[in-house]
């Protein structure tokens, strides 16, 4: 009995030591947005960033500019009973922030950030090239009807590449537009139906352009930018008009023209690396490049002129881009 009384104080000491060992210290990170993260700091780059792992295995990376302060306190389960101790300067009195997905990275705002993005571009738009107007004028003058005119505005699509940096962007694109036109004529002789002739035609535009954008940028950080810009565009286009009918007649007229365009645009991208771009421009093209066949014959215009490879006109284009860092 006497030996038991001797060992009892030693047992109590060892038990208390073990409990203290279980309540090991942890790191607490206070963010400037009010969040509090409890865990163990596993990596620290002085003046740049820290990496902290919570007890449930989530890992967070924060830049030093996001952090208000870092302290050390006992584990939450060990301090739960004395959280009302006002003299304990290491007790946070706060609960941990909601758990975010693993490896979360939040980039701080930096309106002076430099950015450089390269991407693949897809575009679609509506435009009104001058060749279509000339063909419509010719049809109306020759037939006295506008029933079979080409649409004065038509859809075009394109693909390209782009590079975007502070106050400047460079783009290259290839654009394509195809407008068919089919019409039939019923013939009557002496009041009797004599047959129907069918005529199929189309206008084809294909062009490549280089574009330099001078922009004013609203920068949240290097991965979140909105810009309003002035585009300066130059390129070359191939224009083709094709005709065939049910009688076996076939005609093909083509020529090329150069162009210059400018206007206004707005675009933006964020951390998803998805870019959007809306642009309205007016395009001018060189004149005198009349459509002609392989023998040099030109399309006669009813009023004495000829059909020009003319891409002048308004152009509204919407582009999406997929950016790389």
Distance CA(244)–CA(226), nearest Å, equals 49
User: In the predicted model, is pLDDT for residue 75 greater than 90?
Assistant: no
Q: The tokens of 117 are what?
A: 């993005």
Greater model confidence, 10 or 88: 10
pLDDT at 83: 42
Residue keyed to tokens 């038991």 = 4
- Among 63-72, 82-91, 254-263, the range scoring the smallest mean pLDDT is 82-91
The model's confidence at residue 152, banded by pLDDT at 50, 70 and 90, is: confident
Task: Kindly state the average pLDDT of the residues 30-44.
Answer: 84
Backbone angle region of 304, left / alpha / beta, with phi > 0 → left and psi within -120 to 50 → alpha = left
Distance CA(268)–CA(277), nearest Å, equals 7
Distance CA(126)–CA(314), nearest Å, equals 8
- Among 4-18, 125-139, 256-270, the range scoring the smallest mean pLDDT is 4-18
Indicate the fold that domain 116-324 takes in CATH.
Porin (2.40.160)
C-alpha dihedral (304, 307, 310, 316), degrees to nearest 10:
110
Which residue from 132, 293, 122 is spatially nearest to 204, judged by alpha carbons? 132
Distance CA(71)–CA(29), nearest Å, equals 7
The domains of the chain are located at 24-105, 116-324
User: In the predicted model, is pLDDT for residue 196 greater than 80?
Assistant: no
Task: Kindly state the average pLDDT of the residues 24-29.
Answer: 77
pLDDT at 273: 92
User: Do 55 and 28 contact (CB within 8 A), yes or no?
Assistant: no
The model's confidence at residue 303, banded by pLDDT at 50, 70 and 90, is: low
The model's confidence at residue 74, banded by pLDDT at 50, 70 and 90, is: low
Q: The tokens of 123 are what?
A: 């575009």
Q: Which residues pair with 243 in a beta bridge?
A: 201, 251
Q: The tokens of 69 are what?
A: 């302060």
User: In the predicted model, is pLDDT for residue 165 greater than 80?
Assistant: yes
Q: The tokens of 104 are what?
A: 């979360």
Which residue from 76, 124, 115 is spatially nearest to 96, judged by alpha carbons? 76
Greater model confidence, 108 or 187: 108
Task: Kindly state the average pLDDT of the residues 180-198.
Answer: 71
User: In the predicted model, is pLDDT for residue 79 greater than 50?
Assistant: no
Task: Kindly state the average pLDDT of the residues 283-297.
Answer: 92
DSSP notation for 302-324: TTS-B-B----EEEEEEEEEEEE
Greater model confidence, 211 or 145: 211
- Assess if CATH 2.30.30.100 describes domain 24-105: yes
Q: What are phi and psi of 158, to 5 degrees?
A: -160, 165
């Amino acid at each position: 009995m006497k030996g038991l009384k001797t060992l009892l104080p030693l047992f109590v000491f060892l038990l208390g030591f073990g409990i203290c060992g279980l309540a090991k210290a942890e790191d607490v990170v206070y963010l400037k947005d009010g969040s509090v993260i409890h865990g163990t700091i596993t990596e620290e780059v002085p003046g740049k960033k820290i990496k902290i792992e919570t007890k449930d295995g989530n890992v967070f990376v924060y830049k030093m500019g996001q952090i208000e302060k870092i302290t050390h306190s006992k584990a939450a389960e060990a301090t739960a009973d004395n959280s009302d101790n006002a003299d304990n300067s290491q007790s946070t009195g706060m609960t941990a922030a909601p758990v975010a997905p693993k490896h979360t990275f939040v980039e701080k705002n930096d309106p002076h950030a430099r950015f450089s993005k390269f991407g693949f571009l897809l575009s679609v738009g509506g435009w009104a090239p001058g060749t279509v107007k000339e063909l419509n004028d010719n049809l109306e003058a020759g037939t006295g009807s506008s029933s079979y005119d080409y649409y004065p505005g038509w859809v075009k699509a394109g693909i390209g590449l782009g590079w975007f940096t502070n106050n400047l962007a460079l783009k290259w694109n290839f654009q394509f537009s195809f407008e068919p036109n089919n019409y039939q004529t019923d013939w009557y002789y002496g009041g009797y139906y004599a047959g129907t002739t069918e005529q199929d035609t189309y206008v084809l535009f294909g062009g490549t352009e280089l574009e330099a954008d001078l922009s004013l940028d609203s920068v949240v950080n290097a991965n979140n930018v909105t810009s309003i810009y002035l585009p300066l565009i130059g390129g070359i286009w191939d224009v083709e008009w094709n005709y065939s009918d049910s009688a076996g007649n076939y005609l093909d007229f083509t020529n090329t023209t150069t162009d210059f365009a400018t206007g206004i645009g707005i675009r933006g991208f964020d951390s998803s690396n998805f870019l959007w771009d809306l642009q309205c421009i007016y395009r001018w093209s060189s004149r005198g490049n009349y459509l002609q066949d392989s023998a040099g014959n030109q399309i006669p215009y009813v009023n004495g002129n000829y059909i020009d490879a003319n891409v002048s006109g308004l152009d509204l284009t919407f582009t999406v881009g997929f950016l790389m860092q």
